[in-house]
Amino acid sequence: MSESGSIPRVYSRIAGTGSYLPAKVLTNDDLSKIVDTSDEWIAARTGIRQRHIAADGETTGDLAYHAAVRALQSAGVEPDELDLIVLGTTTPDLVFPSTACLLQHRLGANGCGAFDVNAACSGFLYAISVADKFIRTGDARTVLVVGSETLTRMVDWSERTTCVLFGDGAGAVVLKADAETGILSTHLHADGAKKELLWNPVGVSVGFKENEKNVGVRIQMAGSDVFKYAVKALDSVVEETLEANGLDRHDIDWLIPHQANLRIIEATAKRLDMPMERVIVTVDKHGNTSSGSVPLALDHAIRSGQVQRGQLLLLEAFGGGFTWGSALLRY
């Protein structure tokens, strides 16, 4: 208790970040040799120039491990100090145990809570929101949050409207309880009625065999519809975030969006009246890595020196489900 008798407020502060991209790079020119496309066509519509592809035998957990180790090193935290691991992914290593459990053991953090969160491209925002609640309630003081994906394992390389978009990668943050600064609010939403606009229509219970309904483990997307809903949803969640914190859009120092499509990023920046110089863009380097996109961009922004301590950051994402969300934080 403080002297006034009130309970001191606790925030979730980012203590360290890390990221990892597989060694293999697939450029737009490389893709043009296997599907009817070109660097000009892809770049003009998406802003993507290349994507990274996990090697044979390299899993979502492997990518998560490398990103997590770098985040822990950045934070100066040992694995046995972790109270919880929350991992956002839609491409887990196994049906069970969770990829978070596999990561926990590999890090040597056995004993703490560990679980996966599946919210497609919004997975990291969902995961960091869950971690924030654990810290705010006092149930955890040090939490590892990861977004990791091997989306290229379910890409149809003959379908040019989808295969050009996705890549593999992972990002991670370490959150620590702090009395001064950190995550101010998170906002999560979903609309399952729109599932068939962006989905993979197979699974354990539905079944994996191909029939008139299921066409294999492949991403299916109605691109123009997804774009329309994404822009509208992100506009709404940005307004909600600003209103919840009594802020004006010009108070935001940096926008760190899901790296899916440069056009969506530009539309969100325009809504915020934010110049692109204040928006972190890495989609050209790795494409859409789903739940890995936001932490990859965040780690790049911090390690490059663009983002500085004390600045106000707005993180947002939109993905299959539909799911969407935001996190406002003072770095």
Residues taking part in catalysis: 121, 258, 288
Measure the CA–CA gap between 81 and 189, rounded to whole angstroms.
32
Alpha carbon distances (Å) from 229 to 70, 160, 189, 224: 35, 21, 13, 9
Tell me which amino acid residue 151 is: L
Residue 124: asked if its preceding bond is cis (omega within 30°), the reply is no
Place of tokens 């539909």: 322
The answer to whether 172 and 146 have CB atoms below 8 angstroms apart is yes
According to DSSP, the residues that pair with 144 across neighbouring strands are: 85, 174
Helix 262-271 with 223-244: angle, nearest 10 deg: 30
CA-closest candidate to residue 290, choices 156, 131, 119: 119
Q: What stretch of H or E contains 132?
A: helix 123-136
CA-closest candidate to residue 296, choices 310, 315, 311: 315
